[in-house]
Structure 1
Amino acid sequence: MKLVKNIQSIAKDVIQQEADAVRHLADLIDESFECCVETILRTGGRVVITGIGKSALIGQKIVATLNSTGTPALFMHAADAIHGDLGMIQTDDVVLAISKSGDTAEIKVLVPLLKRTNVTLIAMVSNRESYLGRNAHHVLHAYAPTEADPLDLAPTTSTTVALALGDALAICLLEARGFTRQDFARYHPGGALGKKLYLKVCDIYPGNTLPLVAESATVKEVILEITSKRLGATAVVDAHNQLAGIVTDGDLRRMLNQYDTSHILSLTARDIMTPSPICIASEEYAVKALQIMQAKSITQLIVADQGTVKGFVHLHDLLKEGLV
């Protein structure tokens, strides 16, 4: 195999060529694009995306993006459509057909069949004057002057442009629908991304022990509570069971430096605690707890609602949930 000497140069040329095509795509956004968005918003059905070859792969990605951002969509392979899959299409659906040339054999067979179903047809094509472009109700102009390969054959620039145009369509629909972070969380419940959007502190702290002492607790009692509960700290409450402070491992080390050994036995939790500790409400999102810990360089937070101690959330909990 012959080793290409100018590999870096070739790679940069490919990226530059595709970037230029995507930049030019912005100049092609016109009233036709707006009509496509409005048509999809008005429909009570789904967006059925079809294509063949590499266009089919791009179509599947656009379907995934639409579904995850609030626009119901499904993929129908152009070749399978003429062998029974046309039954997937309902009368209130919108069909988006992706084809660089707009003149492939499968598309020329499929378009008349789609017209019989009376659905709205949107074409995503490089050539507006192609068969698909002329027979569609609306056109998304995915213009790609040349492919990035030296033979101008392999779908490269054209698929990148189609992908970018599909993203633009999905985000416009997202904005128009008023899609929120909560909506996004509903569609992405799995993984770290979903957990950042829906996991709350109250989902975590009940799994932990609750180290808790009174202000009058002796140093020995404080140490035993911290040791037995294994969270590296204990909350301190006043006579009304309201949060008064926190004693951490660090507070114990500072106590040893500050007081004589003979004096330590006479100290109470009130003497060594950090008053008015940083805490978080139980209904806050877990990612907020992580942000506080990172900003304050601490590893645990007291969970408290209006001064009443509910529990602890530890950095290890957030690690276990995959938020870090």
Structure 2
Amino acid sequence: MNTYDTIISFAKKTINEEAKAIAYLEELIDEEFAEAVNTIHHSNGRVIITGIGKSAIIASKIVATMNSTGTPAVFMHAADAIHGDLGSILIDDIVICISKSGNTPEIKVLVPLIKNFKNTLIGITSNKDSFLAKEADYILHAFVEREACPNNLAPTTSTTAQLVMGDAVAVSLLHLKGFSSKDFAKYHPGGALGKKLYLRVSDITTVNEKPKVAPDSDISTVIVEMTEKRLGATAVVDDNKIIGIITDGDLRRMLTTNTSFDGLTAKDIMSSNPKRIDHKALAIDALDRLEEYGISHLLAEKNGNYAGLLHIHDLIREGIL
């Protein structure tokens, strides 16, 4: 077996072993899981998630997922907790502690302290007979038979199982809260989804150049305007009212149908009644219109007046497409 075949074989084996472990987690979702999630849902506090080593990294990721889906969460490293960070836990907070073995020294020190604070403690562990499992109010059983690591040492399958269990909690809470895509966008205003829900045509056209020519402008004026504004088109306006558009395609058609350009004006080569959109329309609606008509440009209007030009590349740049 050559080197590439060996790599492919080990990679597939790793994925297969982790996939089996994750599939088994479905059988471990029970009423205790539901009670734990319901407790979080009805809590007036935040979710504090803690762990040590690789479990701490997973805890941090679950915190990020919860925060982005409407459940306020805070990461607390188990080692730092016993050196002052316990002060970040408020009376109504729920603590989730993640540990594969549930028996690490840091966990054995931390858990009694949390219990003294009277906070609800949820454990995510592979070992239901562990110290953490026995002390926690609720256990989310993230059992794995062995790690994908051939030495059964490096946290691989176990951390994947922890992450999936955390996702199961976060998504369950999302459904209980009725958390919608619009809610999600509030926490991701700079992401693609946020832009689809909030970015408007005017947000783009106001920073774009605004190419325009008069109906009687000669062809050289048209070409200069399109070249300088670099949007591949120009509006043709009369008293700031849109009457047409000239695109690169219109110029190419002009070249193939005319041997002389003397006397030609913008109105002679423009496309009349071009597609347009209100400047306050959502950018995603502009994309729908571009795709519907199979065009690359839309002219924006404000109160019936020319307000700018939108190119499909603008939407690609913004991550809308």
- What is the TM-score with the length of structure 1 in the denominator? 0.85
Which structure 1 residue ranges, 5 or more long, are not aligned?
Answer: none
Work out the percentage of aligned pairs sharing the same amino acid.
55
> 1:218 and 1:310 mapped to 2: Cα distance?
23
Which structure 2 residue ranges, 5 or more long, are not aligned?
Answer: none
Answer whether contact 1:101 1:125 (CA < 8 A) is retained. Answer: yes
Matched, 1:163 2:160: no
Alignment of 1:73-92 (within 5 A): 73-92=73-92
Deviations 1:231-281 (A, max 9, x none): 332223467x543321112212212322452xx545544432223323333
Query: SS at the partner of 2:155?
Result: coil
What's the CA shift for 1:93? 0.4
Task: Supply the AA of the counterpart residue of 2:307.
Answer: K
Answer whether contact 1:182 1:198 (CA < 8 A) is retained. Answer: no
Residue in structure 2 matching 1:303, options 288, 300, 303: 300
Answer whether contact 1:45 1:94 (CA < 8 A) is retained. Answer: yes
Alignment of 1:1-324 (within 5 A): 6-190=6-190, 195-215=195-215, 217-219=217-219, 221-237=221-237, 241-261=240-260, 264-286=261-283, 289=286, 298-305=295-302, 307-315=304-312, 317-318=314-315, 321=318
**Greater shift in the superposed pair: 77-86 or 216-225:** 216-225
> 1:92 and 1:247 mapped to 2: Cα distance?
64
Query: SS at the partner of 2:236?
Result: strand
> 2:137 and 2:264 mapped to 1: Cα distance?
82
What's the CA shift for 1:119? 1.0
What's the CA shift for 1:99? 1.1
> 2:5 and 2:249 mapped to 1: Cα distance?
59
Answer whether contact 1:144 1:158 (CA < 8 A) is retained. Answer: yes
What's the CA shift for 1:91? 0.6
Task: Supply the AA of the counterpart residue of 1:171.
Answer: V
What's the CA shift for 1:158? 0.8
What's the CA shift for 1:122? 0.8
CA gap of 1:294–1:60, structure 2 versus 1, over 3 A, is same
What's the CA shift for 1:128? 2.3
Query: SS at the partner of 1:139?
Result: strand
**Greater shift in the superposed pair: 79-88 or 282-291:** 282-291
What's the CA shift for 1:323? 5.7
- Give the length in aligned residue pairs: 319
**Greater shift in the superposed pair: 213-222 or 56-65:** 213-222
Task: Supply the AA of the counterpart residue of 2:57.
Answer: L
- What is the TM-score with the length of structure 2 in the denominator? 0.86
Query: SS at the partner of 1:204?
Result: helix
CA gap of 1:290–1:91, structure 2 versus 1, over 3 A, is same
Query: SS at the partner of 1:111?
Result: helix
Query: SS at the partner of 1:37?
Result: helix
Query: SS at the partner of 1:76?
Result: strand
CA gap of 1:4–1:248, structure 2 versus 1, over 3 A, is closer
What's the CA shift for 1:198? 3.7
> 1:306 and 1:30 mapped to 2: Cα distance?
59
